[in-house]
Amino acid sequence: MHQFIYLVLSFILTVPAFAQNYQTTGKIIVDDPHLADLIDVSAGIEILADGFGWSEGPLWLSSENKLIFSDIPDNSIYEWSESDGLKLYLKPSGYTGEQARGGELGSNALLLDSDGRLVLCQHGDRRIAKMLAPLSDPIPKFETLVDSYQAKKLNSPNDAVFSKTGELYFTDPPYGLEKNVDDPAKELDFQGVYKLSKSGEIKLLTKALTRPNGIAFSPDGTKLYVANSDPKRAIWMVYDVKENGSIGNGKVFYDATNLVLANNGLPDGMKVHRNGTVFATGPGGIFIFSPDGKILGKIETGKETANCAFNDDYSALYVTADNYLMRVHLKK
């Protein structure tokens, strides 16, 4: 009997932390057999939480062992952990003004700077800002990093990524404006992709994309991927990154325009695995590309899918999709 009890306790103690009974949804499509070396297909797509207005900008906080993500319409950031579940992390997150306004006013992309401070793309305030508080004790006090280009107010910074040299690359579509591209408060007549230097100098990299959205670097920093969330030109672009930080030789990485009518969603947020595999949200879920643009498979969430993020050891991919927070288990 004692041996039996010991075996049962040993089993309980060695069950992995993710072995809770989460509801699953959607399906994982494998187009290349090598994808099975990367994704635990048998685990499915787990629903960790729901009830959000539009979930976005997931970010894994290694120091806190938790995920944080934006709920844009709610002007809030939520946190989720295996041990404590779902909690409010920060509110307000993207609009700090006193005058009531509608639209997509909350924070979007979230990222960490080299000092471990939280950096936010704030739709409502039309800027990128840094939270003036530690991650463990968040408060809605912010310092503006950038809010204008050539003395004109930015549209609504959407997604951002730091280069290996510490420069901030970001996209600026009109989605945070109450009337979108036709908003009378819109000061720029284009939607840009920008680079903010460590000294605070902003440089326009391209204004050729109609709705620049998700943005990510290749692991070696020599390629920059940018999503264009325009249903008339639903594409991902890839650019060479030059020694001075500018971009060139832009070409279409993948064109999903013909998939838009039959599927929910558009090219949106993306993350690049440390092995170079690109996980890009788009029509129907998340496209999984090899570095040269070959489709390896797809995570079909059944929802309009906004963005995704890896945890620190790449054992999980967290997904924000419409009103859901989801997770897919990976093989490290």
Which of the pair, 100 or 11, is modelled with greater confidence? Answer: 100
Looking at the domain assignment, is residue 210 inside a domain? yes
Other CB atoms closer than 10 Å to residue 112's CB: what's the count? 16
DSSP 301: -
The pLDDT confidence band at residue 332, using thresholds 50, 70 and 90, is: confident
- pLDDT tens digit sequence for 175-203: 999 999 999 999 999 999 999 999 999 99
Tokens 């924070």 locate to 107
Looking at the domain assignment, is residue 13 inside a domain? no
Distances (CA, A) of 248 to 165, 204, 212: 18, 13, 16
Looking at the domain assignment, is residue 15 inside a domain? no
Mean pLDDT of the chain: 93
> Quick check: 101 and 95 in contact, CB under 8 A?
yes
At residue 37, what are phi and psi to the nearest 5 degrees?
-80, -15
Answer whether residue 17 shows pLDDT above 80. Answer: no
**Is 158 marked as a binding-site residue?**
yes
Looking at the domain assignment, is residue 268 inside a domain? yes
The pLDDT confidence band at residue 157, using thresholds 50, 70 and 90, is: very high
- Go through the chain and tell me how many residues it has: 332
Which of the pair, 252 or 36, is modelled with greater confidence? Answer: 252
Counting the structural domains of the chain, the total is 1
CB-based contacts of 103, cutoff 8 Å, min separation 6? 123, 124, 176, 177, 178, 179
**Is 268 marked as a binding-site residue?**
yes
> Quick check: 105 and 127 in contact, CB under 8 A?
no
- pLDDT tens digit sequence for 66-108: 999 999 999 999 999 999 999 999 999 999 999 999 899 999 9
Answer whether residue 138 shows pLDDT above 80. Answer: yes
**Is 187 marked as a binding-site residue?**
no
Tell me what the mean pLDDT of segment 239-268 comes to. 97
What b/e string do you get for 219-241 counting C-beta neighbours within 10 Å, with b at 16 or more? eeeebbbbbbbbeebbbbbbbeb
The pLDDT confidence band at residue 142, using thresholds 50, 70 and 90, is: very high
Tell me what the mean pLDDT of segment 274-284 comes to. 98
> Quick check: 330 and 60 in contact, CB under 8 A?
no
Residue 77's domain spans which residues? Answer: 24-329
Answer whether residue 1 shows pLDDT above 70. Answer: no
CATH of the domain at 180: 2.120.10.30
pLDDT of residue 42: 85
pLDDT of residue 16: 39
Answer whether residue 152 shows pLDDT above 60. Answer: yes
Looking at the domain assignment, is residue 97 inside a domain? yes
The pLDDT confidence band at residue 14, using thresholds 50, 70 and 90, is: very low
pLDDT of residue 176: 97
Looking at the domain assignment, is residue 16 inside a domain? no
> Quick check: 273 and 311 in contact, CB under 8 A?
no
The pLDDT confidence band at residue 40, using thresholds 50, 70 and 90, is: confident
Q: List the beta bridge partners of residue 305.
A: 321
**Is 249 marked as a binding-site residue?**
no
- pLDDT tens digit sequence for 299-327: 999 999 999 999 999 999 999 999 999 99
pLDDT of residue 5: 35
Looking at the domain assignment, is residue 277 inside a domain? yes
> Quick check: 278 and 272 in contact, CB under 8 A?
yes
Q: Considering the chain, what percentage of its residues have pLDDT values greater than 90?
A: 91
How far, in whole angstroms, is CA 28 from its chain's centroid? 20
| Catalytic residue set | 268
Looking at the domain assignment, is residue 17 inside a domain? no
